[in-house]
């Protein structure tokens, strides 16, 4: 059923949002910054997840969300004090809910989850459903003793005898006004109920005349008959999520004395019409989205042919099937307005051309100017649509810190800043991995153990700050910790051991720090499970560079380290400097261009080894011939320009070019799409005349042209 | 001047299901005739100057702009060890699909479209099916002479040798 899958996808996408919000609320609560509204919001998030999960029959998710919700409810009603211990359990429960939701989405709902049982029991203790001393240790066999699982498992009786007597349980449900508003759907309820042994559905009531019809009010009542081995309270629990939004009456026709429900409901029970299951199953339509409006619209299945659980989601959907973007309406409006403006300008232009004479040339120029401005704005607005706050990545990090804190036995606190800084959606997607890695690095290598910290006179709990801010056309992300800083002696020793530098090299402390980004470098002496799997910060750097960004580190021994990542705001458009070498045109990223100089006879010098230097205001820079770097035929040209560029690894370097054409915005095109990566080239673009121009990867060119050449300037 | 070949699904195995006759576009490079499965030909384009790529094999002429996408162009003559073609306006670039990638092949001229029953395809004699000749998937005789059918995947591997 496509319909079902659509709803399922929607459920998961909503669940992700709810859980993100939940994390935020729980973090506030854990930091003691929340108020009663935060508690309510967290409660509602858990409740909504549970409600959604119930509709799709994700039992584990429901069971866990249920006990979680009970605990939140107790906090909400002040029966349970929110102390740090409780807050910790809540945080872990938030993470657990996320894991369970992810499993459900991946179609591996039944996959064993580490710590689930224990956490569930801890929640039960908080919920007052279990004694403190009664927690079964994690090593206990996975199918928990029936007694232990009973309070939360909707189907606890699996271990009873093989042919349990089926009981008949009837539930009358009359949706009240908030039912639809709460997002419930009777058809969904019925489908889910099939899993619990629903056999017969009977509906009563009539749809009002169209003039009086109010879509919020449901005038129908359904009577659902179950043939089940579950107890009445199990069935009641299944309907529990509807308890606030519908009137529910339960009764057991077979066992009158068992019933402690409404007397009124009992009286009506003899009136129940038994409908043969087969008949109603045949009339069951399956594509109904809205509440059914006629008695025939309800669907039912029999216990003898239970509906197969929803098919696991397509494997092809991958980790994140949610490729949609939420965009503020204001941004769309802005686009619509701009397009309108441009249409007017275009009309004006057309008119000026049609009736044009000499005088109107200036008018036309005016219109063309207006159009360029509008186009630029249009482009910015389109880009803005893709811009998303970094929040979505940042929010995953507290969980990373918590997991690591547990594994490493270090307490640490993560501060987030500038979560609303916006970056292109593609950049955000790619950011998660390097950030996680850097946080791991800070946790593992940066922060000392709690005791060591105290001994060093620092606060016991380590601090990591993750911040984002805009700076010009780039976004700057910093990861700052107050740990021990980069261990320069060890880094240097390792670098020498790996042959990355020679012992004679006189490296400044900053240069030593930068070595951690060197490919193949990882300071972890033991390959730990946390970081240092033979890959290290070099992978981070590679990834960031692939995004057109840079990274650097500033470390103060004993005080901590600050890692800085700068990224372009978008990957699709950049400012470039067009240059010509021979008959070919190339683009240099403008962000790297420092200045352009004319090379005169005196400013070019040569070192004894033949490499060229350029003198600039009393300083010597490496001079690199783009012609030879780009494998172009040599040509004797005396009149050349030098462009000074800032490379990440080798300081300022001057490149000789034949001509400097100018600055322009370029649209990035991939060379890899139809070809493969070319060393020294980061991509391509299409010039105004339709020709392709290559975008130069300055770092790679410099590296290719002389790995052994001396470094002119220190890193900065 | 651009004329697009029929836009047929490039992944389709045969042009006419149920028959074993395939159609090939043949083109000339000097005296030699080469053929490519018509389903893999996207379009045929007049030569326009390309943008040179650094540090590539000499047969890679560079890249061109095909309506907004960047497409590499390879010189077929040079690919088979011949001298580099000095292309003029009379040369054509055959744009083909190789797997998911679009690639241009510089040839002298397009000559014909021929239907070839699968049974008529002959193997390259043993001993030659090595080196450059491994890019020849088979030989077939047409009215104009022997046609070497190209195995595009072998000739221009599109596998990324990226370490990422």
Residue A315 confidence class, pLDDT cut points 50, 70, 90: very low
What is residue A695's predicted lDDT score, i.e. its pLDDT? 92
Same-domain pairing of A293 and A367? no
Of A388, A413, A439, at which residue does a domain stop? A388
CB contact under 8 A, B65 and A584: no
Which is nearest to B25 in space by CA: B104, B111, B99, B96? B111
What is residue A255's predicted lDDT score, i.e. its pLDDT? 55
Q: What is the CATH number of the domain that holds A36?
A: 1.20.120.160
- Average pLDDT of span A110-118: 80
DSSP letter at A352? Answer: H
What is residue A339's predicted lDDT score, i.e. its pLDDT? 82
> At residue A570, does pLDDT exceed 60?
yes
Of residues A613 and A294, the one with the higher pLDDT is A613
Same-domain pairing of A256 and A377? no
> At residue B61, does pLDDT exceed 80?
yes
List the single residue in A with minimal CA-CA distance to B49: A691
CB contact under 8 A, B63 and A675: yes
Percent of chain A with pLDDT over 90: 4
Same-domain pairing of A412 and A522? yes
Q: Write out pLDDT tens, residues A1-57.
A: 455 667 777 788 788 888 888 888 888 887 777 788 888 888 888 888 888 888 788
Give the closest-approach CA distance of A695 to chain B in angstroms: 11
In terms of residue numbers, what domain contains B117? 21-155
- Dump the DSSP string for A609-641: TS-EEEEETTEEEEEEEHHHHTTPPP---S--E
Same-domain pairing of A396 and A542? yes
In a domain, A314, yes or no: no
Could you give the residue ranges of the DSSP H alpha helices within A636-706? 698-704
Instruction: Tell me the backbone φ, ψ of residue A341, rounded to 5 degrees.
Output: -60, -40
> At residue A128, does pLDDT exceed 70?
yes
In a domain, A648, yes or no: yes
- Give the CA distances from residue A269 to residues A206, A263, A273, A623, in Å, rounded to whole numbers and listed in that order: 20, 10, 9, 95
Least trusted range by pLDDT, from A7-11, A557-561, B52-56, B103-107: A7-11
CB contact under 8 A, A674 and B103: yes
Least trusted range by pLDDT, from A264-268, A454-458, A581-585, B70-74: A264-268
DSSP letter at A473? Answer: T
In a domain, B143, yes or no: yes
> At residue B120, does pLDDT exceed 80?
yes
Same-domain pairing of A383 and A396? no
> At residue B71, does pLDDT exceed 90?
yes
List the single residue in A with minimal CA-CA distance to B157: A675
In a domain, A309, yes or no: no
- Average pLDDT of span A284-301: 39
- Give the CA distances from residue A375 to residues A69, A365, A370, A472, A690, in Å, rounded to whole numbers and listed in that order: 51, 15, 9, 21, 19
What is residue A335's predicted lDDT score, i.e. its pLDDT? 83
Tell me the torsion sign for CA atoms A230, A232, A236, A237: negative
Place of tokens 């275009």: A346
Please tell me if residue A629 touches chain B, with a CB cutoff of 8 Å. yes
Question: Considering its fold, how many domains does chain A have in total?
Answer: 5
Contacts of A302 (CB under 8 A, 6+ apart): A199, A277, A278, A281
Of residues A488 and A265, the one with the higher pLDDT is A488
Classify each residue of B124-152 as buried b or exposed e, where b means 16 or more C-beta atoms within 10 Å of its C-beta.
Answer: beeeeeeeeeebbbbbbebeeeebbbbeb
In a domain, B14, yes or no: no
Helix (H, G, I), strand (E, B) or coil at A360: helix
Q: Structure tokens of A602? A: 């005196």
- Average pLDDT of span A483-500: 83
Asked whether B98 and B153 are in contact (CB, 8 A), the reply is: yes
- Average pLDDT of span A426-439: 84
Q: Structure tokens of B57? A: 């094999």
List the single residue in A with minimal CA-CA distance to B99: A674
Return the number of CB contacts < 8 Å for A and B. 76
> At residue B74, does pLDDT exceed 90?
yes
> At residue A533, does pLDDT exceed 80?
no
What is residue A707's predicted lDDT score, i.e. its pLDDT? 43
Residue from the list B55, B65, B69 with its beta carbon closest to the beta carbon of A673: B69
Least trusted range by pLDDT, from A166-180, A411-425, A654-668, B149-163: B149-163
In a domain, B5, yes or no: no
What is residue A445's predicted lDDT score, i.e. its pLDDT? 83
Q: What is the CATH number of the domain that holds B45?
A: 2.40.50.180
- Give the CA distances from residue A357 to residues A348, A361, A363, A371, in Å, rounded to whole numbers and listed in that order: 14, 7, 10, 20
CB contact under 8 A, A671 and B63: yes
- Average pLDDT of span A554-581: 84
Residue B44 confidence class, pLDDT cut points 50, 70, 90: very high
- Average pLDDT of span B106-124: 89
What is residue A278's predicted lDDT score, i.e. its pLDDT? 41
Question: Which residues of B are less than 8 Å from A581 in CB distance?
Answer: none
List the single residue in A with minimal CA-CA distance to B163: A677
Residue from the list B52, B56, B71 with its beta carbon closest to the beta carbon of A674: B71
The answer to whether the predicted template modeling score (pTM) of the entire model surpasses 0.80 is no
Give the closest-approach CA distance of B104 to chain A in angstroms: 10
Residue A312 confidence class, pLDDT cut points 50, 70, 90: very low
Same-domain pairing of A461 and A449? yes
Q: Structure tokens of A240? A: 């529990």
In chain B the first and final C-alpha atoms are separated, in Å, by 39
In a domain, A306, yes or no: no
Asked whether A552 and A514 are in contact (CB, 8 A), the reply is: yes
Same-domain pairing of A394 and A384? no
- Average pLDDT of span A225-238: 77
Of residues B34 and A361, the one with the higher pLDDT is B34
CB contact under 8 A, B101 and A673: yes
Query: Interface of chain B against chain A, CB under 8 Å?
Result: 49-56, 62-65, 68-72, 101-103, 158-162, 164
- Give the CA distances from residue B10 to residues B15, B35, B98, in Å, rounded to whole numbers and listed in that order: 10, 16, 9
Question: Which residues of A are less than 8 Å from B101 in CB distance?
Answer: 673-675
What is residue A3's predicted lDDT score, i.e. its pLDDT? 59
CB contact under 8 A, A692 and B64: yes
- Dump the DSSP string for B112-142: EEEEEEGGG-BPPPTTTSSGGGGGEEEEEEE
> At residue B24, does pLDDT exceed 80?
yes
Same-domain pairing of A175 and A95? no
Q: Write out pLDDT tens, residues A623-657.
A: 888 888 888 877 766 567 888 888 766 778 888 88
Same-domain pairing of A141 and A217? no
Round to whole Å and give the CA distance between A567 and A474: 5
Same-domain pairing of A143 and A273? no
Q: What share of chain A is helix, strand, coil (3-state, %, to 5)?
A: 40, 20, 35
The continuous run of DSSP H or E covering A538 comes out as helix A537-546
Question: Considering its fold, how many domains does chain B have in total?
Answer: 1
In a domain, A321, yes or no: no
In a domain, B47, yes or no: yes
- Give the CA distances from residue B164 to residues A658, A675, A677, in Å, rounded to whole numbers and listed in that order: 34, 15, 11
Residue B43 confidence class, pLDDT cut points 50, 70, 90: very high
Round to whole Å and give the CA distance between A222 and A613: 88
> At residue A466, does pLDDT exceed 60?
yes
> At residue A462, does pLDDT exceed 80?
yes
Helix (H, G, I), strand (E, B) or coil at A169: strand
Helix (H, G, I), strand (E, B) or coil at A129: coil
- Which of A:526-555 have CB within 8 Å of B? 542, 546
In a domain, B116, yes or no: yes
Quick count: other Cβ atoms within 10 Å of Cβ A663? 14
> At residue A115, does pLDDT exceed 60?
yes
Contacts of B159 (CB under 8 A, 6+ apart): A676
In a domain, A21, yes or no: yes
Find residue B142's DSSP bridge partners. B145
- Average pLDDT of span A314-340: 65
Please tell me if residue A438 touches chain B, with a CB cutoff of 8 Å. no
> At residue A577, does pLDDT exceed 50?
yes
Asked whether A637 and A551 are in contact (CB, 8 A), the reply is: no
Of A568, A591, A618, at which residue does a domain stop? A568
What is residue B9's predicted lDDT score, i.e. its pLDDT? 45
Please tell me if residue A678 touches chain B, with a CB cutoff of 8 Å. yes
What is residue A604's predicted lDDT score, i.e. its pLDDT? 67
> At residue A618, does pLDDT exceed 80?
no
Of A358, A388, A418, at which residue does a domain stop? A388
- Give the CA distances from residue A212 to residues A178, A207, A208, A270, in Å, rounded to whole numbers and listed in that order: 18, 10, 6, 32
In terms of residue numbers, what domain contains A284? 167-297
Residue B35 confidence class, pLDDT cut points 50, 70, 90: very high
What is residue A125's predicted lDDT score, i.e. its pLDDT? 85
Percent of chain A with pLDDT over 70: 77
On the CB side of A274, CA atoms within 13 Å amount to 7
In a domain, A473, yes or no: yes
In a domain, B100, yes or no: yes
- Average pLDDT of span A250-278: 49
What is residue A9's predicted lDDT score, i.e. its pLDDT? 78
Q: Structure tokens of A440? A: 């791991």
In a domain, A315, yes or no: no
Whole-number average pLDDT of chain A: 74
Place of tokens 């498992």: A153
- Give the CA distances from residue A391 to residues A117, A387, A398, B121, in Å, rounded to whole numbers and listed in that order: 31, 12, 12, 61
Tell me the torsion sign for CA atoms B43, B49, B54, B58: positive
What is residue A465's predicted lDDT score, i.e. its pLDDT? 93
Could you give the residue ranges of the DSSP H alpha helices within A446-532? 450-455, 488-497, 509-514
Of residues A415 and A503, the one with the higher pLDDT is A415
What is residue A407's predicted lDDT score, i.e. its pLDDT? 82
In a domain, B97, yes or no: yes
Same-domain pairing of A384 and A394? no
């Amino acid at each position: 059923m496509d319909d079902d899958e659509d709803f399922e996808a929607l459920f998961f996408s909503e669940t992700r949002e709810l859980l993100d919000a939940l994390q935020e609320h729980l973090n506030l609560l854990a930091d003691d910054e929340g108020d009663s509204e935060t508690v309510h919001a967290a409660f509602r998030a858990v409740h909504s997840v549970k409600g959604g999960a119930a509709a799709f029959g994700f039992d584990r998710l429901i069971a866990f969300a249920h006990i979680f919700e009970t605990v939140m409810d107790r906090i909400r009603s002040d029966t349970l004090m929110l102390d740090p211990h409780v807050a910790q359990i809540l945080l872990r429960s938030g993470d657990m809910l996320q894991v369970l939701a992810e499993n459900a989405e991946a179609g591996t709902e039944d996959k064993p989850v580490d710590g689930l049982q224990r956490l569930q029991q801890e929640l039960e203790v908080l919920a007052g459903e279990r004694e403190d001393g009664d927690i079964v240790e994690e090593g206990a066999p996975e199918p928990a003793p029936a007694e232990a699982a009973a309070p939360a498992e909707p189907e606890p009786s699996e271990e009873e005898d093989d042919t349990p007597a089926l009981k008949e349980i009837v539930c009358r449900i009359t949706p009240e006004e908030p039912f639809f508003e709460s997002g419930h759907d009777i058809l969904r309820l019925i489908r889910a109920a099939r899993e619990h042994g629903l056999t017969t559905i009977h509906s009563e009531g009539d749809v009002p005349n169209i003039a009086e019809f109010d879509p919020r009010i449901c005038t129908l009542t359904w009577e659902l008959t179950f043939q089940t081995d579950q107890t009445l309270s199990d069935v009641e629990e299944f309907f529990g999520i509807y308890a606030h939004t519908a009137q529910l009456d339960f009764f057991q026709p077979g066992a009158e004395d068992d019933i402690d429900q409404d007397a009124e409901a009992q009286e009506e029970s003899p009136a129940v019409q038994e409908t043969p299951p087969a008949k109603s199953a045949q009339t069951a339509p399956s594509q109904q989205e809205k509440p059914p409006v006629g008695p025939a619209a309800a669907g039912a299945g029999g216990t003898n042919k239970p509906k197969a659980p929803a098919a696991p989601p397509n494997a092809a959907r991958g980790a994140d099937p949610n490729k949609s973007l939420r965009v503020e309406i204001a941004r769309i409006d802005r686009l619509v307005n701009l397009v309108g403006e441009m249409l007017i300008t275009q009309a004006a232009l057309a008119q000026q051309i049609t009736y044009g004479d000499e005088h109107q040339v200036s008018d036309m120029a005016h219109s063309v100017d207006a159009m360029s401005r509008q186009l630029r704005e249009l482009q910015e607005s389109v880009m803005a649509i893709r811009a998303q706050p970094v929040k979505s990545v940042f929010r995953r990090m507290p969980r990373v810190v918590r997991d690591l804190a547990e594994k490493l036995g270090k307490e640490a606190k993560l501060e987030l800043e500038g979560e609303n800084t916006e970056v292109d959606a593609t950049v955000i997607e790619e950011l998660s991995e390097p950030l996680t890695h850097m946080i791991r690095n800070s946790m593992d290598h940066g922060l000392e153990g709690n005791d060591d910290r105290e001994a060093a006179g620092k606060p016991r709990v380590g601090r990591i700050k993750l911040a984002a801010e805009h700076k010009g056309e780039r976004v700057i992300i910093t990861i700052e910790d107050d740990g021990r800083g980069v261990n320069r002696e060890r880094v240097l020793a390792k670098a020498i051991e790996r042959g990355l530098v020679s012992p004679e090299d006189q490296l400044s402390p900053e240069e030593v720090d930068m070595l951690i980004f060197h490919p193949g470098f990882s300071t972890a002496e033991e390959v730990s499970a946390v970081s240092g799997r033979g890959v290290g910060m070099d992978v981070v750097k590679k990834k960031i560079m692939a995004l057109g960004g840079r990274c650097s580190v500033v470390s103060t021994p004993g005080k901590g380290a600050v890692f800085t990542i700068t990224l372009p705001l978008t990957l699709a458009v950049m400012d470039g400097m067009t240059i010509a070498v021979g008959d070919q045109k190339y683009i240099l990223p403008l962000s790297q261009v420092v200045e352009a100089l004319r090379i005169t006879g005196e400013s070019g010098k040569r070192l004894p080894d033949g490499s060229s230097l350029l003198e600039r205001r009393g300083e010597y820079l490496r001079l690199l011939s783009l012609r030879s770097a780009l494998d172009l035929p040599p040509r004797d040209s005396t009149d050349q320009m030098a462009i000074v560029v800032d490379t990440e690894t080798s300081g300022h370097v001057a490149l000789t070019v034949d001509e400097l054409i100018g600055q322009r915005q370029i649209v990035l095109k991939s060379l890899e799409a139809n070809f493969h990566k070319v060393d020294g080239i980061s991509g391509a673009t299409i010039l105004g005349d339709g020709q392709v121009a290559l975008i130069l990867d300055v770092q790679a060119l410099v590296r290719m042209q002389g790995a052994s050449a001396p470094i002119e300037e220190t890193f900065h | 001047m651009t004329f697009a070949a029929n836009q047929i699904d490039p992944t389709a195995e045969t042009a006419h299901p149920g028959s074993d006759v395939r159609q090939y576009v043949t083109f000339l490079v000097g005296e030699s005739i080469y053929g490519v499965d018509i389903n893999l030909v996207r379009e045929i384009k007049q030569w326009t100057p390309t943008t040179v790529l650094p540090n590539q094999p000499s047969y890679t002429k560079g890249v061109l702009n095909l309506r907004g996408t960047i497409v590499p162009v390879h010189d077929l003559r040079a690919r088979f060890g011949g001298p580099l073609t000095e292309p003029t306006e009379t040369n054509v670039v055959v744009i083909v699909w190789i797997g998911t990638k679009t690639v241009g092949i510089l040839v002298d001229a397009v000559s014909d479209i021929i239907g070839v029953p699968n049974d008529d395809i002959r193997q390259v004699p043993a001993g030659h099916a090595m080196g450059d000749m491994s890019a020849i998937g088979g030989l077939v005789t047409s009215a104009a002479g022997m046609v070497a059918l190209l195995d595009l995947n072998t000739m221009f591997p599109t596998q990324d040798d990226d370490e990422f």
